[in-house]
Amino acid sequence: MTNESTDQTETAPEDDLSSTIWPQVDRALAGITARGEAGRIDLIVHVPRDEVIDALRRLKTDETLSFDYLRSLTAVDNEDEGMDVVYHLYSTTTRHNVTVKATLPNEDLSLDTATPVWKGANWLERETAEMFGIRFHGHPDPRNLLMPEDMTDVFPLRKSHPLAEIEILQGEGMGYPEEGA
């Protein structure tokens, strides 16, 4: 997502999206303030973060769309503009793709968990949480996935995290528990 496209939002002409599945998505998301954007490959749907889980559930259960497959879940750090949490959905029956995006403000990086909608969101959310410091409310197993279990105050994939510090972080003083403890 770019500045340019963000500015476009107010004036986004509806007919641009008429060749995509946006009309169906718009109908399924009735009552949610969703905004469509034509991606290079897939349709991108921007959803406010409070409604994202509701939107995902509706997209999954909608009969004509039935986005039953969660391809990927990740986040993008846009520095001053907050963080985007990105869901790539796919329908195994109708073979549509859609990208759902929710923007989190930097002051409150938290979101409801998608694990009730897809079980597969579990590890993806754990990874996103430890890498970006996003809290997923109601996650059943909020431990670190890839990083050491006690490394909960460092978020490597944030833009503010420099590469060079990693060496120092992996050195002494990390307070790892004793072997076999």
Partner 1 sequence: MVTEPAYEFETQDILLNVGPQHPSTHGVFRMVLSVDGEVVRDLVPHIGYLHRGAEKLCETMDYRQGIGFMDRTEYLAAFNAELSYVMAVEALTDIEVPERAQWIRMILCELNRLSSHFMFMGAFGIDVGVFATPFIYAWIGREALIDLFEEVSGDRMMFAYFRPGGLAWDVPRNFKQRVNEALVVAEQGIKDFDTMLTENEIFVARTTGVGKISAAEAIDWGMSGPSIRASGVPLDVRRDEPYLMYDQVEWDVIVGENGDVYDRYYCRLLEMRESVKIIRQCLEKMPDTGPIMPEKMPRMLRTAPGEVYVRTEAPRGEYGVYLVSKGGNRPHRLKVRSACLANLQALRDMSVGQYVADAIVVLGSIDIVLSEVDR
Partner 2 sequence: MNADLFGLELNVWADAAIRLVMVVTLMTVVVMGYTYLERKIIARFNRRLGPTKTGPWGLLQAVADALKLVGKEDLRPRSADPWTFELGPYMIFIPIFMGFVIVPFIADFHIRLLDLGLIYFVAISSVSIVGWVMAGWGSDNRYAMLGALRSVAQGISYELPLVLSLLAVGMYAGSFNLGVIIAGQDVVPNIVWQPMAAFIFFIAALAELNRTPFDIPLGESEVVGGPFVEYSGIRWSMFQLGEYASIFIMSLVFSAVFLGGWMWPFGEDLGRWFQVLLSGIKAGGFFFVVVWIRISVPRMRIDQLMGYSWKVLLPLALVQVLVNGLVMVNGWHEVTLLISGLVGVAVLVTVTGRVVAAPSVRPGPARPLMPTPAIAQGEAVS
Per CB under 8 A, residues contacting partner 1 are 1-2, 4-5, 39-42, 44, 68-72, 74, 76-77, 86, 88, 92, 95, 97, 99, 118-120, 122-124, 127, 144-148, 156-157, 161, 163, 166
Residue 159 CB, shortest distance to partner 1, in Å, is 8
Residues 5-34 that bind partner 2 (CB under 8 A): 19-21, 24
Q: What single DSSP character describes residue 107?
A: T
Identity of the residue numbered 58: R
Stretch that binds partner 2, among 36-44, 76-84, 134-142, 145-153 (CB under 8 A): 36-44
Stretch that binds partner 2, among 78-86, 89-97, 162-170, 171-179 (CB under 8 A): 89-97
**121, HSE (Cβ side, Cα atoms, 13 Å):** 27
β-pairing, 110-112 vs 97-104, is unpaired
Q: Among candidates 100, 147, 104, which has minimal Cα distance to 121?
A: 100
- Residue count of the chain: 181
Residue 119 CB, shortest distance to partner 1, in Å, is 5
Which of residues 44 and 104 has its CB atom nearest to partner 2 in the complex? 44
Residue 174 CB, shortest distance to partner 2, in Å, is 27
Distance CA 83, CA 105 (A): 7
Question: Which partner from the list partner 1, partner 2, none does 43 bind, CB cut-off 5 to 8 Å by kind?
Answer: partner 2
DSSP-based three-state secondary structure for 98: strand
Distance CA 171, CA 181 (A): 20
Q: Among candidates 51, 102, 99, 100, which has minimal Cα distance to 81?
A: 102
Question: Which partner from the list partner 1, partner 2, none does 70 bind, CB cut-off 5 to 8 Å by kind?
Answer: partner 1
Which of residues 45 and 70 has its CB atom nearest to partner 1 in the complex? 70
**Which value, to the nearest 10 degrees, does the dihedral of the CA atoms of residues 46, 52, 54, 55 take?**
20
Among 5, 78, 94, 152, binds partner 2 (CB under 8 A): 94
